[in-house]
Chain A
Amino acid sequence: MSAATNPVSQAVVWLNDPLNWTNPGGILDRLGEHVSISAAAVLVGCLVAWPLGLWLGHTGRGGGLVVLVSNLTLAVPTLALLTILPLTFLGFGRPAVVVALAVFAVPPLLANAYTGVRQVDPQTREAARGMGMTGAQVLRRVELPLAVPYLAAGFRTAAVQVVATAALATFVNGGGLGEIIRFGFGLSIAVGGGQILAGGLLVAGLAVSVELLFAFVERLVTPRPLRRVRRRAGRRAADAVAGS
């Protein structure tokens, strides 16, 4: 108990207590909630953003819409969306949280899908046309495969962002690892400092792991000759999300 004044050693003590992991509402429970909420949100985001982004990119229209969507979501606080959606027909509970998080997953997914199709060499597209492909065939057989690295980059950005944002679900009692932090703050810093810090480490660790995991996936789905060039392009597409 002598080390209890230092938040770091408090956090180490807290993380080393097996009950904190296995108790109901412990770390493992919260981690499961966090991952399942995030996965559902990213899935919903993909289902909405990818078809729309691919189609907009294919027709070459709607670039302004893509920027508008990302700018709008930048200005709306996550907390506001998390508290407003339960008031609508979605009702209080997990679906509202998932939809709120999905809204924040849409901009990177949309922008990258759009950019991915737009960056296809016009000559390639014309060659496909010349071979007698219809518009849908060009999209499915030429543009979509060439856009896959961009889709992967957008997926990574969205997944990391959703995992980070899901920590805020605790404010609307949505579960997730954020609960650990908020509970710690409820105990006051003197008592819960270690738990707060431990919760922060868990949330940050999860976000970084997701980032690394999907960076690896992104590399896997990018054909080798494209890897060096693609990397920079992916960053640029991600920047487009930030509205610049």
Chain B
Amino acid sequence: MSFRLSYRADPGNPWFSWQYVRDNSETVLNALREHTTLTLRAVLIAALIAVPLAVVAYWFRPLTGPILALTGVLYTVPSLALFAFVAPYLGIGVATVLSVVVLYALLVIVRNTVAGLNQVPAEVREAAEGMGYGRWGRLLRIELPLALPGILTGLRLATVSTVALVTVGVVIGRGGLGQIIFAGFQNNLYKAQIMTGTLLCVLLALVLDLLLVGAGRLLTPWLRGRTG
């Protein structure tokens, strides 16, 4: 109890305060939960769109340029502008944040998946063809597994940038941890609050990145000896 009293005596504006975290644990945890679920859903949706798109780009060479260009254009549009384009139609809500973030994640995943698929050696492809694999069998059994490192790089980059991007959702009040950061700013520049939000953002990005690295190691056991 005593440290609590001493805290009350000198609130100040520290860079970090456990007192703040404890007193607001519910708000902070809610924001963290919202941020995490938004990120995971966005990356999942983006992957479900991007990987087939990359396969199409890989199968039909003339489409590679246009697909990469289209996702590239989406990437050039500033995030706030994308919110401005989407919000008038989807309204103020999770759907808007989700669609903006997915559009951004697309480029990274598509580009890395295409790169991963293109890295599959021609001999391997021919050998698979010689063994009687059809287009789909070759894709599912040989090409996609061999492209996994590329896909995982794309997913990692997409996840980390998505964690950062979700904070822009504050413009419609759905920014997850961005909400905490922004509230701290409006709250007379309350440093502890801003730092809590920021640190959690960076930590979340780090944890998700490490999880993906771990998943990658489990999924590609044949690479383990080589890259160590």
Q: Write the chain A residue with the least CB distance to B165.
A: A77
Q: How far is the CA of A242 from the CA of B83 in the complex (A)?
A: 23
Q: Evaluate contact between A242 and B108: CB separation under 8 angstroms.
A: yes
Secondary structure class of chain B's binding surface, majority of residues: helix
Give how many A residues have a beta carbon under 8 Å from the other chain's beta carbons: 44
- Known contacts A74-B160, A75-B206, A80-B181; A193/B167 CB under 8 A: no
Q: Which of A76, A79, A193, A243 contacts B157 (CB 8 A)?
A: A243
Q: B91 and A189: CB pair below 8 A? A: yes
> Which residues on the B side are within 8 Å of A178 (C-beta)?
80
Interface presence of B82 (CB below 8 A): yes
Query: Which residues of chain A have C-beta atoms less than 8 A from B92's C-beta?
Result: 189
Contacts of A243 in B (CB 8 A): 157
A197→B88 contact, CB < 8 A: yes
* Stretch of B17-25, B49-57, B122-130, B191-199 that contacts chain A: B191-199
- Chain A 160-191, CB-CB to B under 8 Å as 1, else 0, gives 10011101101110000010011011000100
A20 close to chain B: CB less than 8 A: no
A74 to B88, CA, bound (A): 29
Contacting pair B76 A207 (CB below 8 A): yes
Total interface residues on B, CB under 8 Å, equals 47
CB-based A-B contact count at 8 angstroms: 133
Known pairs A77-B198, A78-B168; A203 contacts B88 (CB<8 A) = no
| Residues of chain A contacted by B80 (CB below 8 angstroms) | 167-168, 170, 178, 181, 200, 203
Contact A204 B202, CB 8 Å, known A78-B164, A84-B194, A196-B87:
no
Chain A residues near B (Cβ < 8 Å) = 7, 71, 74-80, 83-84, 86-87, 92, 160, 163-165, 167-168, 170-172, 178, 181-182, 184-185, 189, 193, 196-197, 199-201, 203-204, 207-208, 211, 239, 242-244
